[in-house]
Amino acid sequence: MSSASAPGTPAPLVGRPARGRPWGEALFAVGLVALGVFTLVEASGIIVPGSANVMGPQAFPYAVGALLVGTGAAVLLALVRGHRGQAEQGEDVDVSIGTDWVTVGKLIGSFVALIVLVEPLGWPLAATLLFTGAAWSLGAKPWWRPAVIGLVLSLVVQVTFTQLLGVYLPAGLLDGVPSLNG
Amino acid sequence: MGDVGALLDGFATALQPTYLLYALIGVLLGTAVGVLPGIGPAMTVALLLPLTYTLEPTAAFIMFAGIYYGGMYGGSTTSILLNTPGEAASIITCLEGNAMAKAGRGAAALATAAIGSFVAGTIGTVALTLLAPTVADLAVQLGPADYVALMVVAFLTVAAMLGSSPSRGLASLAVGLFLGLVGTDTLTGQQRFTFGVPALADGIDVVIVAVGVFAVGEALYVASRMRHGPIPLVPISGRWMTRSDFRRSWRPWLRGAAVGFPIGTIPAGGADVSTFLSYSLERRVSKHKKEFGHGAIEGVAGPESANNAAAAGVLVPLLTLGLPTSATAAIIIVAFQSYGIQPGPLLFENEAALVWALIASLYVGNVLLLVLNLPLVGMWVKLLQIPRPYLYAGILFFAALGSYSIGASTVDLVLLLCLGLLGWAMRSFGMPIAPAVIGLILGPLAEEQLRRTLAISQGDLTALVSSPFAVAAYSLLVVLFVVGQWIKRREARIENELAAMLAERERVERTATKG
């Protein structure tokens, strides 16, 4: 926020500086309207059993669909008039900078890796990959440090959950290793 | 007064060593997540919901109570010691408390926040103890139409009070209501919005929604705009409270409790609003007006007390009406439901032992927090220093674990990621998360009550407004709306003033370091 805090013009702490056009937000609002339309269409396809009394299973979905369309349109209208939403504040968030797509992409990639690999590799190894990938994406250095921490964390969780809490987590490749089996 | 006996029985339960241990785990866990940025009590309770399958209800609720109160305590430590503006609710503590810490009075700021939280938390719990049974007695007479009215009030006030604008709050509510529709209709057994996916027939698990929008959403959001550089911690220095600090603090503690508790009981945005009201009140009545903005102890003592009293207030509608007015309260309702208990007026009759043990554990938790917090502050500071990449990787790890351990299903992980993306978008575009969570949990209940009302009245819509209570509730909605908008405008004004002060301070500091 260095550029905005010139003398006399205090930096707005709340809200990001309006930079460019709010395409993302507009897309989100359109998405809300689309979800609403979808809800309305889908609601008309819900089967109403003959036994259903005055208010069947369709009415509430219709109302929700209408609310989605209405609020989505209202947000869109507000955007056209220049009222943008204020990005949420947080201790670790710098609202004055733009979206860092690379980091987010890496983070989502790490999560997708977990989804794809959890069945073939098992929970402990796939979760290690998630932890390592996420920490590395966010800037942990050197890369092997999160890998070691992630592996230890995953194994501790595996033992605690399967042996102490009785919750199933697939051991995958580590199947057969004592005290890891779910 | 049979309640005193019931409360004493509650204490007899809560003070058993096993339950004390659960309370201790709860407050430690709660404080830890309160201290850590990025995690809140709502998400923590959501992550721990699977425990309800193995733990007996009393132990689980005693632990959740500890997390709930502990989370409130922990937040103040962060805002006093961390030199970055946090969430809106803590901007005040950040301004005054952080200024005190920089001026070498950090210890006093932490102490007045902790003792104030204890005083106000205890007053709030006493008020809860006195008020809740009475409200429950009255609430027994409410019919389905009255519940519809209450839920409409809760929906609209929560949605309108939070977020950048009422339309965004309502949009968030609508998203939550939609997510609540997915699954099998309880009354007719019809599948709705399940897209033919068998895994969706039972609805989307609340754990996955809560963890997805809170934890994964937060991690993605922080990743997209991470504040780089070293963590700007202010070291704790100075003496604990002096005699003059005490003299200046005790009135704000009491006033904070008086402001916070009533705000907590009505669905008006919860703790955030109470801190603002308390701050502006303190500033108006203070004899040290000039110190405000530069580390006035009243500005920490009042709002922190209000915050905790409001947390107690939120439990009144939660326990007596089954009406959640905050995201954490909504998740606690789910915990009750997973034991087959529906919070509401009958709770005090059917589950008296459990409720009174829960209330007693709130007193116990408050004492534990006071005793533990000041000595353990060094540990909390260590927590604050966790490098952010590891912190958010850990949040993602536990979020995935929480969802996957429910049923070892990959579908749940896919859902978790999608909901995380939703949470990220909502944060980026100024949509509050709480209305979505409340809509998700309260939506199905509201639909059921609405359909029950119309079934009884055979489709006559006037049945919705025929009881005096429902009429009163809808009128109250109008009043709350007007008052709410007034508060919001005030809040915005104070927020802007504070922001200007913060910016000014930052500028002065920068020039000072340069020169």
In single-letter form, the type of residue at position A8 comes to G
Chosen from B187, B418, B429 to mutate, greatest number of chain A CBs within 10 A: B429
User: Are the beta carbons of B223 and A157 separated by less than 8 Å?
Assistant: no
Q: Among partner residues A13, A140, A165, which is closest to B389 by beta-carbon distance?
A: A140
pLDDT tens sequence across B348-381: 888 889 999 999 999 999 999 999 888 888 888 8
Separation of alpha carbons A60 and A80, rounded Å: 30
Q: Rounded to an integer, what distance in angstroms lies between the CA atom of residue B370 and that of residue B262?
A: 23
> Helix, strand or coil for residue B184?
strand
**B505 contacts in chain A (CB < 8 Å):** none
CA of residue B396 relative to chain centroid, distance: 21
Asked if the model's pLDDT at residue A75 lies above 80, the reply is: yes
Across A113-118, average pLDDT = 94
Three-class SS of residue B420?
A: helix
* Alpha carbons A113 and B445: distance in angstroms, whole number: 37
Evaluate if residue B433 carries a pLDDT over 60: yes
Distance (Å) from the alpha carbon of B8 to chain A's nearest alpha carbon: 33
| Interchain contact, B193 vs A74, CB within 8 Å | no
Amino acid identity at B453: T
Q: Which residue of A68, A100, A136 is in closest CB contact with B226?
A: A100
Are B223 and A137 inside 8 Å of each other by CB? yes
**What's the total number of domains in chain B?**
1
* CA-based nearest residue in chain A for residue B85: A91
The DSSP symbol for B238 reads S
Whether A177 contacts chain B with CB within 8 A: no
Least confident of A51-55, A108-112, B271-275, B293-297: A51-55
Residue A44 touches partner B, C-beta closer than 8 Å: no
Q: Is the dihedral of CA B462, B468, B470, B474 positive or negative?
A: positive
Residue with the bigger pLDDT between B172 and B456: it is B172
Residues B416, B216 contacting (CB under 8 angstroms)? yes
Helices (H), chain A: 23-44, 59-80, 101-121, 123-137, 144-159
Assess B223–A contact: CB distance below 8 Å, yes or no.
Answer: yes
DSSP A100-145: -HHHHHHHHHHHHHHHHHHHHH-HHHHHHHHHHHHHHHTT-SSTHH
Instruction: Find the mean pLDDT for residues A134-144.
Output: 91
Q: Structural domain of residue B433, as residue ranges?
A: 2-514
Q: How far is A178 from chain B (nearest CA, A)?
A: 20
Residues of A in contact with B87 (CB under 8 A): 88-91
Which tops the pLDDT comparison, A12 or A30?
A30
**pLDDT tens string B187-220:** 888 889 888 888 888 888 888 998 899 889 999 9
Do A71 and B170 make contact, defined as CB atoms within 8 angstroms? yes
How many CA within 13 A on the CB side of residue B144?
15
- Using CB atoms, pick whichever of A5, A14, A169 lies closest to residue B495: A14
Chain B residue closest in CA terms to A91: B86
